[in-house]
Amino acid sequence: MVLIVRKELKMTQQEFSTLLGVPVGTIRDWEQGRKEPDSAANTLVKVARSHPEVLREIAA
């Protein structure tokens, strides 16, 4: 799901990691199946998918 959302938003891994506030290595691990996002991270990904502007505002 992480890869799908990132691609829908047309973001690089670095951009998406900044948006979510997690290290880029974590994004890579999630996308490559080495780790699974916890429930809080899953919620952030869902917010990013529906309302990326909210996370952009918070990250600024």
- One digit per residue, the tens of pLDDT, for the chain of length 60 reads 999 999 999 999 999 999 999 999 999 999 999 999 999 999 999 999 999 999 999 887
| Cβ count within 10 A of residue 52 | 16
| CA–CA gap between residue 34 and residue 28 (Å, rounded) | 8
pLDDT at residue 12, rounded to an integer: 98
pTM of this prediction?
0.91
pLDDT at residue 60, rounded to an integer: 78
pLDDT at residue 59, rounded to an integer: 82
Q: Which CATH number does the domain 2-59 belong to among 3.30.505.10, 2.30.30.50, 1.20.1420.30, 1.10.260.40?
A: 1.10.260.40
The single residue listed with the structure tokens 């900044």 is: 18
